[in-house]
Amino acid sequence: MNILILGGGGREHALAWAIRQNPKCDRLIVAPGNAGIAEIARCASLDINSRSEVLAFAEEHAIDFVVVGPEAPLAAGVSDALREAGFLVFGPSQAAAQLEASKAFTKEICDACGAPTAAWARFADAVAARDYIAAQGAPIVVKADGLAAGKGVTVAETLADAEEAINLIFRGEFGDTSVVIEEFMAGEEASFFVLCDGTDCLPIGTAQDHKRVGEGDTGPNTGGMGAYSPAPVLTEALQDQVMAQIIRPTVAEMARRGTPFQGVLYAGLMIEGGRARLVEYNVRFGDPECQVLMLRLGAQVLDLLLACAEGRLSDTRVNWAGDHALTVVMAAKGYPGAYEKGSVIKGLGGIPEGSFQMVFHAGTAEKDGQVTAAGGRVLACTARGTTLAEAHQRAYALVDQIDWPEGFCRRDIGWRAL
């Protein structure tokens, strides 16, 4: 079959790498792709957030299956346009993508189906929001309602910090001016990935990531500096609790509303005292969590995504490898602040890659036969092992083979679980 993947980060390189290995994949096109993806697929330049452009491209290239990587095309309704035209698509509709695009929407769904999450309130007015936090006290969490690329959330230690966050939101810093205020949840965070076909659900792995740029989880937030899978904190018993109390009720509520969820539901969870509560949903794979999940799942990923898109999850099983994977992100110095583009990355050619280790590309480009840095997060050095310690050692062995003085990484990915 002819397959089109939308996106061009480390997540899409990992998806492309896994899908490419499945004999069902005859032709693979990734838009826009990157230098690493170009080695295994055709890259096409395309505005992936434009419904009409993606549709025209899929028609022109006789695409049989479209896999949507990032959230922006989902929020823009690209999957709806493709489905209406008869294409098979992996990724939720615009209406179901609200589970990521609006925090208040997710909270309403949780209330409607009884899923455990932090107590919350929403305000369209700054005075009422300030009165509410004064009554609740600190610590408290202040969130801009819409998509803000990870920058719209303040975990406020003091009331002054919470007020400052409210002021920023009502100054229009994040687009729309509506605020969600939540009870602070203590605990350990972990991510749970579940394929949903509108009715049935199939868990495909757990992971933990490192959002902060600095070692010891310090410094500003990033898109993610590393991840590992599985997440030891998400025991089988907890996974069962999350399926029964959070995931299945959410999927049932979405179906009841006439907006069934089809795609991957990525639940951000807070675990404390043997109980998990929902922090947030994302409606696509995480980056870099996708890299560790894909390395562990391999070629079966295409069968799983097809079963999801075709509504066949009830009789689909995952073939578990039962091992561990860890990925270390290499970023351009300065990231997540200002950084330079265009530096040359050497040493990639000599690295043996395969089902046990892969250097996935994120922001890379090819120039005069050399790989250059073209973004903030640039590479994801990913490896598997029978233990997490072995995966960790192999991933850092990959990092150490890369000659890129303009890049950096955290040396402590996985510390909590190790």
Binding site for ligand ATP (CB under 6 A): 118, 141, 143, 147-153, 155, 182-185, 189, 268, 279-280
Q: Reduced to 3 states, what is the DSSP secondary structure of residue 200?
A: coil
Distance CA 14, CA 36 (A): 10
- Tell me which DSSP letter residue 243 carries: I
Q: How far is the CB of 397 from ligand ATP (least distance, A)?
A: 30
Residue closer to ligand ATP (CB basis): 189 or 412? 189
Tokens of 369: 């036969």
Residue closer to ligand ATP (CB basis): 35 or 156? 156
Burial of 365 (0-12, 13-18, 19+ CB in 10 A): middle
Q: How far is the CB of 232 from ligand ATP (least distance, A)?
A: 18
Instruction: Give the C-alpha distances (Å, rounded to integers) separating 141 from 90, 158, 161, 202.
Output: 33, 10, 10, 31
Residue closer to ligand ATP (CB basis): 147 or 207? 147
Distance CA 37, CA 411 (A): 26
The H or E element that residue 271 is part of is strand 262-272
Residue closer to ligand ATP (CB basis): 184 or 356? 184
Contact 384, 298 (CB under 8 A): no
Q: How far is the CB of 201 from ligand ATP (least distance, A)?
A: 21
Nearest Cα neighbor of 53 from 31, 69, 70 is: 31
Tokens of 197: 């076909």
Q: How far is the CB of 100 from ligand ATP (least distance, A)?
A: 7
Residue closer to ligand ATP (CB basis): 85 or 149? 149
Residue closer to ligand ATP (CB basis): 17 or 192? 192
Nearest Cα neighbor of 287 from 406, 379, 415 is: 379
Q: How far is the CB of 254 from ligand ATP (least distance, A)?
A: 19
Residue 73: alpha-carbon gap to chain centroid:
14
Q: How far is the CB of 182 from ligand ATP (least distance, A)?
A: 4
